Amino acid sequence: MSNMLKVIEVLAESDKSWEDAAAQAVANASKTLHGVKSIYVENMEAKVEGDKIVSYRINGKISFMLER
């Protein structure tokens, strides 16, 4: 029997880094999804205020196992 994955698209934001935004996306998705396997970061952007980056944003695709 083969495994089947589903992919969802999420947006996440962090005031620390893009990596932290991705980690938060996975942590939050894992609260309601079981069997999270990967995140593909599709886009990255940063919000700037007063010549400084104040937040990091990612658009990610999270894959997880479908339960049978």
**CATH number of domain containing 58:** 3.30.1660.10
- State how many domains the chain has: 1
pLDDT of 13:
97
Residue 7 in tokens? 């992919």
Identity of residue 8: I
What does pLDDT average to in each consecutive run of 10 residues of the chain (68 residues)?
87 97 96 94 96 97 90
Closest CA to 11 of 34, 37, 33, 41: 41
pLDDT of 32:
93
pLDDT of 68:
73
Residues in contact with 50: Cβ distance below 8 Å, sequence separation at least 6, in sequence order: none
pLDDT of 1:
53
Residue 46's domain comprises: 5-65
Q: Can you give the length of the chain in residues? A: 68
Q: What is the pTM of this model?
A: 0.87
